[in-house]
Amino acid sequence: MTIKRRQYIVKPKLQIKYLLILAAVIIVSSILIYYMFLDSLLNSPGMDQLSAGAVKNFVRSYTSGFFWAILGFMAIVLIESIFYFHRLIGPIFFFEKVMTRLKNGDFSVSVHHRHKDETIELATSMNEAISNVRTAVSEDRKKIDAIKVAIDSGDKDKAKHLLSELTQWFKIEK
């Protein structure tokens, strides 16, 4: 199963939710920073010597510059976040597709990852788990065939022994 993940918004609800949260954090932080710096600037020595018009022009210039700086910063962060979410949420979306196929009994699937994905370790672990299950199922099928042969030949002890070895890889702790 080779699916190339070129789509940047694969889980729109989740990605937009996190983009909105990030935008809200930036906006709230910006407002706090704006007022802290404005208060600091207005209360700095020498500001009381400026005329009201000069202070008003200063505040207007400060506000305009701050607004454009924050707008640019926010655009850069949100665009970078889309790419970051693509490397994080994209693989999660792909894992969901793989797990759906596994749930439906298709163990021919494997998990592919890109070198920039944030979930390489998880993809590797999932591939190892799928491979182990695939191998164990194959071995169990061979044992079942051997059990059938032993039963057909009347060798019940051999059939019991083979049956006891069946699914030894499967561990359940209570």
Q: What value does the mean pLDDT take over residues 48-75?
A: 92
Pair of tokens at residue 113 = 């990852």
pLDDT at 161 > cutoff 70: yes
For the cut 70, the answer to whether the pLDDT of residue 92 exceeds it is yes
**88 occurs within a structural domain:** yes
Q: Give the three-state DSSP class for 174.
A: coil
Alpha helices in 104-119 (DSSP H): none
Distances (CA, A) of 47 to 37, 38, 42, 44, 173: 14, 12, 6, 6, 73
Q: How far apart are CA 128 and CA 104, in angstroms?
A: 19
Q: Residues 101-143: pLDDT tens digits?
A: 988 988 888 887 777 777 888 888 988 988 888 888 888 888 8
Per-residue pLDDT tens digits for 29-46: 999 999 999 999 888 888
Structural domain range at position 146? 107-168
Asked if residue 112 belongs to a domain, the reply is yes
Question: What is the number of structural domains in the chain?
Answer: 2
Q: Are residues 83 and 136 located together in one domain of the fold? A: no
Are the C-beta atoms of residues 90 and 5 closer than 8 Å to each other?
Answer: yes
Residues 120 and 69 in one domain: no
- The reply to whether 100 and 119 lie within a common domain is no
Residues 136 and 114 grouped into a single domain? yes
Residue 13 clears pLDDT 80, i.e. is over it: yes
